[in-house]
A and B are shown apart, each in its own frame.
Chain A
Amino acid sequence: DAGVIQSPRHEVTEMGQEVTLRCKPISGHDYLFWYRQTMMRGLELLIYFNNNVPIDDSGMPEDRFSAKMPNASFSTLKIQPSEPRDSAVYFCASSRGTGRQETQYFGPGTRLLVL
């Protein structure tokens, strides 16, 4: 299995621009998570989906952030408009099943820099 796939790996954009991050979970996994990692705040859960349905988005910072999962093999995290404080590494993770014991597998991340 290829693991969780994220694209792009690096993104540099200017403040005010729209940014779209993409994720392909591991086949057969029905949970998908979006995390953000910064030096100041560490790894934070933004939102997660179960069977393509958003379950908990309480970690999404503000309305500029939105996430979708149109099918079981694809999810996007969009920031519009982007701001310099959004600069971070964004990780997507997926897990199988519904139990807490199911391991989350992380993708390589997208390093975002907003100028």
Chain B
Amino acid sequence: GESVGLHLPTLSVQEGDNSIINCAYSNSASDYFIWYKQESGKGPQFIIDIRSNMDKRQGQRVTVLLNKTVKHLSLQIAATQPGDSAVYFCAENRPIHGSSNTGKLIFGQGTTLQVKP
């Protein structure tokens, strides 16, 4: 099937620097993406989402960019902190049963962010 979340397995950054985590997808019809953060021993936690009618969305210290032309999205974390160390997943919220209003999450493999003090 169509895949999502093809990106580097590990990213190491210095505390205080900005982090950029990338994600690629293959289905040009994909229209809704979500970034999750998973800390060790915990379940994934919602960070931010973006729909295909937008190319940028900002949250607190995070920005998601969506480039539909090349089927790529990225999560930018400003002033990375030790508490940002985790595995980050991009996920597609894919419609199911032909309904545009009900979806299931298709997760990528994840990128481990390591923050060096």
- B109 at the A/B interface (Cβ < 8 Å)? yes
Q: Mark A41-82, 1 if CB is under 8 A from B, else 0.
A: 011110010000001100000000000000000000000000
Q: Note all chain A residues with C-beta closer than 8 A to B107.
A: 42-44
Q: Note all chain A residues with C-beta closer than 8 A to B105.
A: 33, 43, 45, 104
> Would you call B97 and A108 a contact (CB within 8 A)?
no
> Would you call A100 and B103 a contact (CB within 8 A)?
yes
Q: CA A107 – CA B45 in complex, angstroms?
A: 9
Tell me which of B14-22, B36-44, B64-72, B77-85 binds A: B36-44
Residue from A33, A45, A56, A103 within 8 A of B46 (CB atoms): A103
Identify whether the interface residues of A are mostly helix, strand, loop, or mixed.
strand
- A32 at the A/B interface (Cβ < 8 Å)? no
Q: Note all chain B residues with C-beta closer than 8 A to A45.
A: 104-106
> Would you call A106 and B102 a contact (CB within 8 A)?
no
> Would you call A43 and B44 a contact (CB within 8 A)?
yes
| Known contacts A42-B108, A56-B104, A98-B102; A106 and B32 CB within 8 A of each other | no
Residue from A43, A44, A91, A103 within 8 A of B89 (CB atoms): A43
> Would you call A91 and B103 a contact (CB within 8 A)?
no
Q: Note all chain A residues with C-beta closer than 8 A to B110.
A: 42
- B100 at the A/B interface (Cβ < 8 Å)? yes
Q: Note all chain A residues with C-beta closer than 8 A to B100.
A: 100
Q: Note all chain A residues with C-beta closer than 8 A to B104.
A: 33, 45, 48, 56
- A93 at the A/B interface (Cβ < 8 Å)? yes
Q: Note all chain B residues with C-beta closer than 8 A to A107.
A: 43
- Beyond the given pairs A56-B97, A100-B101, A103-B46, 13 more chain A to chain B contacts, judged by CB atoms under 8 angstroms and listed by A's residue number, are A4-B43, A33-B104, A42-B5, A45-B105, A48-B104, A91-B43, A98-B101, A100-B95, A101-B49, A104-B46, A104-B105, A106-B45, A108-B42
Q: A-side interface residues toward B, CB under 8 Å?
A: 4, 33, 42-45, 48, 55-56, 91, 93, 98-101, 103-109
